[in-house]
Amino acid sequence: MRDPVTVRLRVNGVECQGRCEPRKLLVDFLREDLGLTGTHVGCEHGICGACTILFNGEAARSCIMLAVQADGAEILTVEGLMQNGKLHPLQEAFREHHGLQCGFCTPGMLITALDLLQTNPSPTEGEIREGISAVLCRCTGYHGILKAVEAAARTMREA
Amino acid sequence: MSLIGAPVRRVEDARFLTGRGRYVADMTLSRMLHVAFLRSPYAHARIVSIDTRRARELPGVAACVTGDELAPCARPIRAESKMAGYRATEFPALARGKVRFAGEAVAAVLAESRYAAEDALEAIDVRYETLPVIATPEAAMAGDATLVHEAAGSNVLLSRAFVQGDAEAAIARAPVVVGGRFRFHRHAGVTLENRACLADWDAGARELTLWSSTQVPGLLRETLAELLDLPAHRLRVVAPDVGGGFGVKSALYPEEVAVCALARLAGRPAKWVGDRREDLLTSTQAWDETIEAELAVHADGTISALRARVVADVGAYSIHPWTASIEVIQVISFLPGPYRVPHYRGEGWGVATNKAPMGPYRGVGRPVSTFVTEALMDRAARRLGIDPVELRLRNLLRPDELPYRSPSGVVWDSGSFVESLERARDVAEYERVRAEQRRGRDAGRYVGIGVACYVELTGVGSAIPASPGAAINTGTEGATIRVDPGGTVTASFGLACHGQGHETTLAQVVAEELGAQLENVRVIHGDTAAGPAGTGTYASRSAVIGGGAAMLAARALREKALAIAAHLLEVAAGDLTLADGRASVRGAPDRTLTLREIARAAYAGAKRLPKGMEPGLEATRFYDPYFGTASNATHVAVVEVDPETCAVVVRRFVVVEDCGRIINPLIVEGQAIGGTAQGIGAALLEEIVYGDDGQLLTGSLLDYLVPTAAEVPAIEVVHLERPSPTTLGGFKGVGEGGTIGAPAAVANAIADALAPLGVEISELPVTPERLFRLISPGGRPLR
Ligand code: FES
Ligand code: FES
């Protein structure tokens, strides 16, 4: 164990800071120190994608990063998707197309889909499959998720 | 339009989509301690000594507890069964004396953080004396085998047979007999949320609350009360949001017992959140069976007999309440499938080894039985030169033969077996694929089409236990529905939900039957303090049994609401309708009362109620479907095998399913597709592998492959919706079916693709390596 260090970062547009051990995982810092439990832990070894966040604008797995590495970073978690009490088009589309069952993969899936649509606003079905293959969903068979991402892409292009 | 059958968008989604779901790991109580378990590195070893002194002294560590120290506070889990010849085993919360599988917990640390708790694990000194490892059922059954449980007296924990007619004689006489030795390897459920639990002991009130990621809060409460020596009414079990179950979370786990006892010992809340390695090491696993089977058919393709011997590797412990019998007995129960099988003999053995315990997983037994029977059907078809669809049509039970008592004694109340096969054949464009297959073969391409038909007992009532011989009642569920004084409706259930959308579907049933507005109905589940007595959600039972209970309670309330409205409006109750939250007089649409007004009167007491009527507007009803009802489906897979890389691509997948009357088509489709995706994973990718030393070789998601969006094909689902004649509401269960049909359909499609090479698929999953060995036994690629 080492003495705690201070980590300062911007999460969902808000300046945050906390003190934690240098070895603390970013996902644990978000969940425990900042109380943002929307980001989930499914494997802690970088495979399942449940812990995916946007890290300085790009999708990253918060279970294989340390909180100290995020010092000074800009982070978006699922809690930051809703704006002014309105669901993000991706959130709307997941609901409309039954893109979730148990909901455990959903935060990582939403953030991963957001990352995909930011870089590729008009993905083909194959590109969506490949994009979201970074996150495991055990419940849905991905069908509703694919439809949701397609629909959200349309909405976001038109917006 | 009826709310039952409407594609209502799920009410639970809002919290999950915004990160406001509340899973056990998300919960924090003040003064809460974190639990980490020290797990055995050996598969079979005697515990010589455990020294926790160094660990206890580390900063942040509150306690460090061994099995012997915990034993006075928690009895071992004992998986009892009424089955003749079954040998019960005891599963302690923390190992005592010896460990029986790699990963079994031997000590627990309670600390201020999980990090500190895990640090302390490294400071515990355990001395083990290793024992011979029983790595296979064959080794376990050898005459001089070391016993996994000395007290059981044998490694064979159970055996059972179902016999109808004389299969031996029929096989001896039959013109065509096909057979094989089949192997379905070990499988992990891999819920995306790992198991987790949090216990809080209130020493003043002598009350314990357990929040657990479980499918069966009601069942846990009753059993934990006994193991912890607490009266059940002082014990509350809550399943908050649960991130997937699939059967894996339907047993009582030692960690749940341990965490309760630890919280009581420490006098502080204790939380354990399993990590993925712990999940793969210790959660119940599935299948792992070897099946020797023969199918005898007449020259016209009709079945004369089926015979099977099934040996199951049940791992190190029999689990409560399902016992080690659940998989293998279901396999021999359901091998005859939806077919007419005059002569049948199915024998099964459950054998203990030094591996994680086997338990129920989506489909339970039937993915295996369907794989075997459907493979044999295709082999018979090939031998006779009859098209496999045609052969099935000649053997499937027709509606006029139902109800039908299967050779193992299961009653199929109804079914659309023939219809679903014909429909699947048409939707999948069977003939067109066959033509494409012929053209492809000329060009060196290997396309195959595989069919699998199954029937599944769902919504099992009290006539038979959900697991044969299990020492608990699984046939009933209740619903408590209250029209709140303000006119909204709260409906609580003993069921628990882990993705099925009960908060939506059960609300649809309640709203429709009661005549309330859907948005005014709230469903509560998964909390033993909130709902009527019940066990939980498993075995495709909730829509049938919970839905039935909801109908009964809602109808009782509706009747009472109408009686109150009739009294207030001074009309006969028979002249009133109640729909959409409003009672109206037939023919006089302006004379109405809202449910809110009726509720107000109901709670106002005698002065506003008919003479002698009890105040209040609340009802509890229980439902028992007695036998249960049959769901069925046909799965069709079209695959292409790349002979060079041995990769299998599923090009098309069609499911024609009949789950009776549909409550919500979106959710039914989601269940069917999700289950099918798991079945495809089971057919092609997923395998738990142990070394000869009993070490788990697939302890991460890098090694245990769960299908991603890149591997799961588009799955087309067609609903037949033939209501069950025997259940209230006509509902049949749909949660598991997808996983039952898919492995068989994919295996048959691969065998069909490779038929010119004489390849048969007898082993699942069909990994590229296995396929390579099948295609080129000499180790040379095909071209
Ligand atoms: S928890 Fe980070 S990838 Fe699984
Ligand atoms: S919704 Fe359960 S894992 Fe995706």
Same domain, residue pair B589 and B619? yes
Same domain, residue pair A150 and A105? yes
Per CB-CB distance under 8 Å, the chain A contacts of B710 are: 129-130, 133
Same domain, residue pair B294 and B417? yes
Taking CA atoms only, the protein residue closest to ligand 1 atom 3 is: A46
Distance of CA A72 to the CA centre of its chain: 18
Q: How far is the CA of B519 from the centre of ligand 2 (A)?
A: 25
A126 Cβ contact partners less than 8 Å away, ≥ 6 residues apart: none
**pLDDT at residue number B777:** 67
Same domain, residue pair A16 and A63? yes
Per CB-CB distance under 8 Å, the chain B contacts of A93 are: none
Same domain, residue pair B239 and B361? no
Cβ of A63 below 6 Å from ligand 1: yes
The reported pTM is 0.97
Question: For A128, which residue in chain B has the nearest alpha carbon?
Answer: B709
For chain A, what is the domain count? 2
Residue B697 counted as domain residue: yes
Residue B276: is it exposed, middle or buried by C-beta count within 10 angstroms (0-12/13-18/19+)? buried
Predicted confidence band of residue B183 (pLDDT cuts 50, 70, 90): very high
**pLDDT at residue number A14:** 97
Per CB-CB distance under 8 Å, the chain A contacts of B276 are: 42-45, 48
List B581's β-bridge partners, or say none: none
CA A20, A26, A27, A31 torsion-angle sign: positive
B698-726 pLDDT, tens digit each: 999 999 999 999 999 999 999 999 999 99
Residue B175 counted as domain residue: no
B623, B648, B675 - which closes a domain: B623
Same domain, residue pair B634 and B619? no
Same domain, residue pair B312 and B458? yes
Cα separation, B108 vs B122, in Å, equals 12
Q: Give, for ligand 1, the residue of A25, A30, A39, A63 to mutate: max count of ligand atoms closer than 8 Å to Cβ.
A: A63
Same domain, residue pair A75 and A27? yes
SS (H, E, C) B703-736: CCCCCCCCCCCCEEEEECCCCCCCCHHHECCCCC
A76-95 pLDDT, tens digit each: 999 999 999 999 999 999 99
B84 Cβ contact partners less than 8 Å away, ≥ 6 residues apart: none
In this prediction, what percent of chain A has a pLDDT beyond 90? 97
Same domain, residue pair A137 and A96? yes
B437 Cβ contact partners less than 8 Å away, ≥ 6 residues apart: B447, B448, B449, B752, B753
Closest CA to B43 of B121, B144, B125, B146: B146
B562, B591, B623 - which closes a domain: B623
Write out the two tokens for A81. 């998707």
Q: Looking at CA atoms only, how far is residue A57 from chain B in angstroms?
A: 19
B670 Cβ contact partners less than 8 Å away, ≥ 6 residues apart: A98, A101, A139, A140, A141, A143, A144, B501
Predicted confidence band of residue B779 (pLDDT cuts 50, 70, 90): low
Per CB-CB distance under 8 Å, the chain B contacts of A86 are: none
We report the CATH number of the domain holding residue B397 as: 3.30.365.10
Predicted confidence band of residue A1 (pLDDT cuts 50, 70, 90): low
Q: Which of A48, A81, A98 lies at the smallest CB-CB distance from B192?
A: A48
3-state secondary structure of B84: coil
B188-246 pLDDT, tens digit each: 999 999 999 999 999 999 999 999 999 999 999 999 999 999 999 999 999 999 999 99
A45 touching B (Cβ < 8 Å): yes
Half-sphere exposure of A52 (CA within 13 A, CB side): 26
Contact A98 B677 (CB under 8 A): no
Q: Which ligand is nearest to the CA of B241?
A: 2
Contact A47 B16 (CB under 8 A): no
Q: Give, for ligand 2, the residue of A51, A52, A100 to mutate: max count of ligand atoms closer than 8 Å to Cβ.
A: A100
Same domain, residue pair B447 and B523? no
Residue B291 counted as domain residue: yes
**pLDDT at residue number B776:** 82
Contact B673 A82 (CB under 8 A): no
B300-349 pLDDT, tens digit each: 999 999 999 999 999 999 999 999 999 999 999 999 999 999 999 999 99
Best A2, A98, A124 member to test B by mutation, with max B CBs in 10 Å, is A98
For chain B, what is the domain count? 3
List A44's β-bridge partners, or say none: none
Same domain, residue pair B380 and B442? yes
Same domain, residue pair B338 and B448? yes
We report the CATH number of the domain holding residue A93 as: 1.10.150.120
Same domain, residue pair A62 and A101? no
> What's the Cα-to-Cα distance from A23 to each of A43, A46, B180, B415, rounded to whole Å?
18, 17, 54, 58
Contact A102 B25 (CB under 8 A): no
Helix axes A125-132, A106-119, angle to 10 degrees: 130
Q: Which of A31, A105, A110 lies at the smallest CB-CB distance from B192?
A: A105
A63, A80, A97 - which closes a domain: A80
Assess contact for B395 and B283: CB atoms under 8 A. no
Assess contact for B597 and B455: CB atoms under 8 A. no
Question: For A23, which residue in chain B has the nearest alpha carbon?
Answer: B115
Same domain, residue pair B491 and B601? yes
B380-434 pLDDT, tens digit each: 999 999 999 999 999 999 999 999 999 999 999 999 999 999 999 999 999 999 9
Cβ of A79 below 6 Å from ligand 1: no
Q: How far is the CA of B415 from the centre of ligand 1 (A)?
A: 43
B623, B644, B660 - which closes a domain: B623
Same domain, residue pair B557 and B691? no
Residue B148 counted as domain residue: no
Same domain, residue pair A73 and A116? no
**pLDDT at residue number B778:** 60
Cα separation, A123 vs A128, in Å, equals 6
In this prediction, what percent of chain B has a pLDDT beyond 90? 93
- Apex B458 CA angle, B455 and B459, nearest 5: 160
Cβ of A57 below 6 Å from ligand 1: no
Contact B678 A140 (CB under 8 A): no
Ligand 1 atom with least separation from CA of A41: 1
B48-75 pLDDT, tens digit each: 999 999 999 999 999 999 999 999 999 9
**pLDDT at residue number B1:** 77
Cα separation, B389 vs A104, in Å, equals 40
We report the CATH number of the domain holding residue B31 as: 3.90.1170.50
In residues, how long is chain B?
A: 783
B642 touching A (Cβ < 8 Å): no
Closest CA to B466 of B239, B253, B628: B628
Cα separation, A91 vs A110, in Å, equals 7
B119 touching A (Cβ < 8 Å): yes
**pLDDT at residue number A76:** 98
User: What is the residue range of A24's domain?
Assistant: 5-80
Residue B224 counted as domain residue: yes
> DSSP E strands: which ranges in B165-258?
176-188, 196-202, 207-212, 235-238
Distance of CA B418 to the CA centre of its chain: 26
Q: Which of B59, B276, B498 lies at the smallest CB-CB distance from A43?
A: B276
Contact B673 A128 (CB under 8 A): no
Answer whether residue B452 shows pLDDT above 90: yes
Cα separation, A43 vs A50, in Å, equals 8
SS (H, E, C) B452-495: EEEEEEECCCCCCCCCCCECCCCCCEEEEEEECCCCCEEEEECC
Listed by number, the residues of chain B in 402-441 with a beta carbon closer than 8 Å to a beta carbon of chain A are: none
Same domain, residue pair A95 and A70? no
Q: Which ligand is nearest to the CA of A27?
A: 1
Same domain, residue pair B608 and B633? no
User: What is the residue range of B85's domain?
Assistant: 13-131+192-244+249-282
Best A26, A83, A104 member to test B by mutation, with max B CBs in 10 Å, is A104
Listed by number, the residues of chain A in 82-111 with a beta carbon closer than 8 Å to a beta carbon of chain B are: 82, 87, 91, 94-96, 98, 100-107, 110
List B162's β-bridge partners, or say none: B346
Same domain, residue pair B630 and B619? no
Q: How many CB atoms lie within 10 A of CB B779?
A: 7
Contact B18 A1 (CB under 8 A): no
Residue B341 counted as domain residue: yes
Cβ of B501 below 6 Å from ligand 2: no
A128 touching B (Cβ < 8 Å): yes
Cβ of A4 below 6 Å from ligand 2: no
Q: How far is the CA of A99 from the centre of ligand 2 (A)?
A: 9
**pLDDT at residue number B104:** 98
Same domain, residue pair A95 and A122? yes
A100-125 pLDDT, tens digit each: 999 999 999 999 999 999 999 999 99
3-state secondary structure of B352: strand
Ligand 1 atom with least separation from CA of B701: 4
Q: How far is the CA of B498 from the centre of ligand 2 (A)?
A: 9
Cβ of A44 below 6 Å from ligand 1: yes
Same domain, residue pair A109 and A141? yes
Q: How far is the CA of B497 from the centre of ligand 2 (A)?
A: 13
Predicted confidence band of residue B472 (pLDDT cuts 50, 70, 90): confident
Same domain, residue pair A9 and A55? yes
Predicted confidence band of residue B464 (pLDDT cuts 50, 70, 90): confident
3-state secondary structure of B607: helix
**pLDDT at residue number B780:** 55
Answer whether residue B470 shows pLDDT above 90: no
The one-letter amino acid code at B638 reads V
Q: What is the mean pLDDT of chain B?
A: 96
Q: Which of B28, B702, B712 lies at the smallest CB-CB distance from A141?
A: B712
Residue B171 counted as domain residue: no
- DSSP string covering A56-102, please? TTEEEEGGGSBGGGGTT-EEE-GGGS-BTTB--HHHHHHHHTT--SS
